[in-house]
Chain A
Amino acid sequence: MSGSEATLDRRAARGAAKRRRARRGQAIAAISSVVVLGGLAALILTSPGWPDVRDTFFSWSAFKDSFPDVLSAFWLDIKLFVTVEIAVLILGLLVALVRTSATAALFPVRLLAVVFVDLFRGIPTILLVYLVGFGIPALELSGLPTDPLVLGGIALTLSYGAYVAEVYRAGIASVHRSQRDAALAVGLTEGQALRHVILPQAVRRVGPPLLNDFIALQKDVALVSILGVVEAFRQAQIFASSTFNYTPLLGAALLYLCVTVPLARMLDRLGTGASGLTV
């Protein structure tokens, strides 16, 4: 038997062993999942309160009756989420740019940006929704919005704008100063250096934390319900309180998951494949 044949044999044997190990790993994962989840299910299903819980949280008829209305109310959540998210991305970027600018003339605006971030990041979002939602209409000034949906959107934008401004700012600060030097050295202005060299690198780096804030915002959209906006959570609540059955709330929870879980998987992919983050 020649040397190269022996090498080939060993390579095939190594490949087979690797495949065996992979198969065994998958089998172990599957078995342990079944054991853990099955155990949990058994525990819940045999608990003394289970029959009651089943009727109030897992009633198929209550689900069927409420779900179409909850779903159509959920559209409002989606629309509000998308609108607020766009406003947040723009506001956050503006605030971050003002905060990182070095121009002396911008000092007052810079101070304002600092106050903005401290203020709106420091107040609980739910409190901000109350204050904006009930406070602004109470001023009775003409020209100010009175629609609770708009007011809720403004409150969310302020709160998340403050967070996102800080995310952007950290991204800008993380781009090494030598990049600015190199941009100036090829003849760019400070503004061009920011636009073409620093921001593109900063935005790429803050993708994952921004997506994290997206997920949080998608859930917090439900907070506008306290202003009387009938979105998915509120709609489900209306059903629940009229029928004393909580299944509609579970339906709403499912809808939120339908959006947040894909976002979370996207985040995972961004996190693990950061080098593939070419945008």
Chain B
Amino acid sequence: MSPQPVLAIRGVTKSFGRLEVLRGVDLEVAEHEAVALIGASGSGKSTLVRCIDLLDEIDDGDIFLDGEVITDPAVDPVAMRRRLALVFQAYNLFPHLTVLENVALGDMRAHGASRGEAESRARSLLERFGLGGRERDRPDDLSGGQQQRVAIARAFAGRPRAMLLDEVTSALDPELVGEVLDAVRDLKAEGVTMLIVTHEMGFAREVADRVGFLHDGRILELGPPERVLSEPERPETQRFLRRLLEAGRI
């Protein structure tokens, strides 16, 4: 028997009105594993990630965290979210707080740390992601790449069991992508369990242990990056990758 996965998604469906976005998604992420999720724009990648973090409610199926079902209506969503972390495409930093306060807020309010503890942890996280000296700045005074690194630090500050990254480089100018990917590499090196939605195929190939292709509301293909990205079995995956190639995205 293989060890229990950190995240297990079983037959998850989700519709918005008559639009069926997820039609039975199955996916597991093991401890220390990084799974990259690829798929066309509008295929439901963000929806899946939001459902896992209980920001959107699934219609059917189950999601498990460390073997415990988190999508049962009887489960307290706040307690579950405290064990997960989500980094948004648009950073969503809190503009009225300083960089330091952004990173420390969750630790203080959700994890019961004192201000001193939370801020000293936040300081060392910011240092680690190359933001030492920016603690007192407001998010709006930072570049996009710096803001996204603050967002990663903020998410990681809650010591999550798994991190969900939703296209964390898609809103960035090309020259700022590298510094954010470095932060994710850093997390991977530490063995953080991650589900990474991305359009950066080179990065997926490098960092991910497995790549999943979301199409038509299901995970159509799932496997090691070399296989899924270089020798995809399904014609839909081949077509998607060819289109990315033509658009110069690989």
Contacts and interface: CB of A to CB of B under 8 A. Distances in A.
B110 A188 contact: yes
A185 B109 CA distance: 12
Contact of B109 (A187, A201, A204): A187
B92 A189 contact: no
B94 A187 contact: no
A186 B155 contact: yes
B244 interface: no
A182 B85 contact: no
Interface in A148-185: 178-179, 181-185
Interface string B143-158: 0000000000011011
B92 A179 contact: yes
Nearest to B94: A197
Interface of B is mostly: loop
A187 B88 contact: no
**Size class of the contact patch on chain B:** 20 to 34
A185 B50 CA distance: 9
A200 B154 CA distance: 19
B216 to A, nearest CB: 26
A185 B87 CA distance: 9
A192 interface: yes
A182 B94 contact: yes
Contacts of B154: 186
Interface of A is mostly: helix
B158 A186 contact: yes
B55 A185 contact: yes
A273 to B, nearest CB: 15
Given A178-B88, A181-B92, A196-B105, A187 B53 contact: no
Given A186-B158, A187-B109, A188-B109, A181 B96 contact: no
A179 B94 contact: yes
Contacts of A183: 94
Contacts of A201: 94-96
A201 to B, nearest CB: 5
Nearest to A180: B55
Contacts of A188: 78, 105-106, 109-110
Given A178-B88, A178-B90, A181-B55, A186 B105 contact: yes
A181 B151 CA distance: 13
**Size class of the contact patch on chain A:** 10 to 19
A184 B109 contact: no
A197 B96 CA distance: 8
B92 A184 contact: no
A153 B60 CA distance: 55
Contact of A182 (B78, B93, B110, B111): B93
B208 interface: no
Interface in A34-62: none
A94 B221 CA distance: 52
Interface centre among B53, B85, B105 (most CB of A within 10 A): B105
Nearest to A193: B109
B63 interface: no
A183 B102 CA distance: 10
Interface centre among A185, A188, A204 (most CB of B within 10 A): A185
Interface string B83-127: 001101010111110000000011001110000000000000000
B10 interface: no
Given A185-B53, A185-B81, A188-B106, A204 B111 contact: no
Interface centre among B90, B95, B111 (most CB of A within 10 A): B95
B94 A185 contact: no
A184 B155 CA distance: 11
B82 interface: yes
A181 B157 CA distance: 17
Contacts of B50: 181
A186 B106 contact: yes
Nearest to A195: B109
A152 B157 CA distance: 52
A196 B97 CA distance: 10
Contacts of B82: 187
A176 to B, nearest CB: 8
B78 A189 contact: yes
B92 A204 contact: no
Contacts of A192: 109-110
Interface of A: 178-179, 181-189, 192, 196-197, 200-201, 204
Given A178-B88, A204-B96, 6 more contacts: A182-B88, A182-B94, A185-B81, A187-B82, A189-B78, A200-B96
11 contacts: A178-B88, A185-B53, A185-B85, A186-B106, A186-B157, A188-B106, A192-B110, A196-B109, A197-B94, A197-B96, A201-B95
**Which 6 A-B residue pairings sit nearest by Cβ, starting from the closest?**
A187-B110, A186-B106, A182-B92, A187-B82, A185-B86, A178-B92
